[in-house]
Structure 1
Amino acid sequence: MTCKEAERLVMPYIRDELTDEELREFLEHLETCPDCREELEIYFTVEAGIRQLESETGNYNIKGALEAALEHSSQRLQAIRLIKIAKYAVSTLSITALIITVLLQCRIWLQLGLL
């Protein structure tokens, strides 16, 4: 992902509008690009500040809120990855069980002389 693409995704990230793939690429880019990370911090600070003024909340740890949001996004991607792995494992086990069942049934039919 280029910096221009990452900059285009800053506001959708803040608004939680990114697809899982966009989110993964965006977070990977932020790990290696301090300029884009700084850009995100600036926009996040402005957005969070405006939201806090509108809601009159007393939480002014905006940097902490950004770190929490990034951590939450990373955890979400890890959970999605684990779900995909689990689906693959269940599918593989199901197909294996089906094949074994068919083979065992064929063995029984052979022993009974039905095949």
Structure 2
Amino acid sequence: MTCREAERLVMPYINGELTDAELAEFLKHIDTCEDCREELEIYFTVDVGIRQLDEGTGTYNIKGALETALEISRQRIHTLYLLQTARYAVNTLCFWAVLVVLILQLRIWGQLGFLGL
């Protein structure tokens, strides 16, 4: 991801509008690019500050709120990765189970003479 693409995704990230794929790429870029990280901090500070003023509530640790939001996003991506891995494992096990059942069934049919072997 380029810096231009990351900067374009700052506000959608803050508003929670990124897809999972975009979120993963955005987090990777933010973790490695100090300029884009600073840009995110500025926009996040302004956005959260305005929201807190409008609501009359809030924490005064906006940088901590950003770190919390980033950590939650990282956990989401990690959880999605684990679920995807588990899905692949279950699909693979199901494939092999069906294949074994089919082979055993063909063997039974062969012993009973249904296959003409």
The TM-score with structure 2 as length reference comes to 0.94
SS state at 2:9 partner? helix
Which digits, 9 at most, give the CA deviation of each residue in 1:48-71, with x for residues without a partner? 101111111141111110000000
Quick check: 1:24 aligned with 2:24? Answer: yes
Quick check: 1:51 aligned with 2:20? Answer: no
After the TM superposition, list the runs of 4 or more consecutive aligned residues in structure 1 that deviate by more than 2 angstroms.
Answer: none
How many percent identity over aligned positions?
65
Q: CA RMSD in A?
A: 0.9
Shift of 1:83: 1.1
Quick check: 1:106 aligned with 2:68? Answer: no
Query: How far apart are the structure 2 equivalents of 1:43 and 1:56?
Result: 19
The TM-score with structure 1 as length reference comes to 0.96
Show structure 2 runs of 5+ residues with no match. none
Show structure 1 runs of 5+ residues with no match. none
Read off the aligned partner of 2:79 and give its amino acid letter.
Answer: A
